[in-house]
Structure 1
């Protein structure tokens, strides 16, 4: 019985986070996406920003302006970008099985430590979207590298190394813009 209660509470928590994220998106002054759909009038280059193939770690042009986190779902790479456009850090990530749609989002919630939807203890969780009931966010697996992904399990955790997770945690506070590109 305790197990079913825990599952029920976890489900309610996920639903509440998705609802809060949805409301935060609607209330944002920059008109972010809702429910994993790109915002109306989003820059067409935000979805397919051209890459510098000679320097693949270079920030893609067309990924926006100002302070932001840029996440490429095709390259599994993140850029932490300051207000002046300078890249503070870039790093590879290991995505879950559910990707957010290209567009602009905002950090809606954070958790210092919790358990991921895959049952793995995680820390420095930075959430920014929900797709079909799956919460999407950056996190670090506690005690080791990202676990093996099983495509049949719908997960939205975008895993990063401990050092990269620490940098993300310091950078991506509530309201910071997340730009998802292909």
Structure 2
């Protein structure tokens, strides 16, 4: 009768083989192509295979003026064409301005107010988001400002997908959340 191997020998052999397989796969993965962060700011055309960026949009050297047709008083101004938001105080001075990544559904120009605010959830793109501030609805889709929890910009949405999230950089999301309490005016301009 042939001699049987003890169970510890089998376990040791299988564990060693599994570790060797993981090491081989890790070495192969390390030698493969590396992902690169997208650096295309909102408003510029991005290639179809663009990946999200972990870096928020760069801050401008020179402040961008608040649109003239955006009303008066304390408000959030959102320019559809510029893909930009301004936080404007009671004296009509812009306290902060930043670029945004709009969803595929945009609100019509007009005046809205911040309604529901949600600390955190998962966006329709599957990305964990925070500082969600809903202010409009169009074609059955809610439009809201939010930022990704990890600070990335969203990947381009599929053309047939309806998303109303207006994604902002993480620091801008915190500032917007602090500024935009429920009832705050949102003025959408062309």
CA shift, 1:144, in A, is 3.1
For residue 85 of structure 1, what is the aligned residue in structure 2? 92
Cα distance in 2, alignment partners of residues 94 and 62 from structure 1: 22
Tell me if 1:129 matches 2:136.
yes
Structure 2 length as normaliser, TM-score? 0.65
The one of 174, 177, 180 equivalent to 2:182 is 174
SS at match of 1:158: strand
Q: How does 1:101-180 map to 2 (within 5 A)?
A: 101-150=108-157, 151-180=159-188
Q: Deviations over 1:128-152 (max 9, x none)?
A: 0111111101000111312212222
CA shift, 1:62, in A, is 1.9
Structure 1 outlier segments of 4+, above 4 Å: none
SS at match of 1:129: strand
The one of 68, 72, 75 equivalent to 2:75 is 68
SS at match of 2:136: strand
Cα distance in 1, alignment partners of residues 110 and 138 from structure 2: 13
Q: Deviations over 1:113-132 (max 9, x none)?
A: 01112221100001101111
Uncovered stretches (5+) of structure 2, i.e. residues with no partner: 1-61
Structure 1 length as normaliser, TM-score? 0.68
Cα distance in 2, alignment partners of residues 102 and 176 from structure 1: 16
SS at match of 1:136: strand
Cα distance in 2, alignment partners of residues 57 and 89 from structure 1: 10
CA shift, 1:68, in A, is 0.3
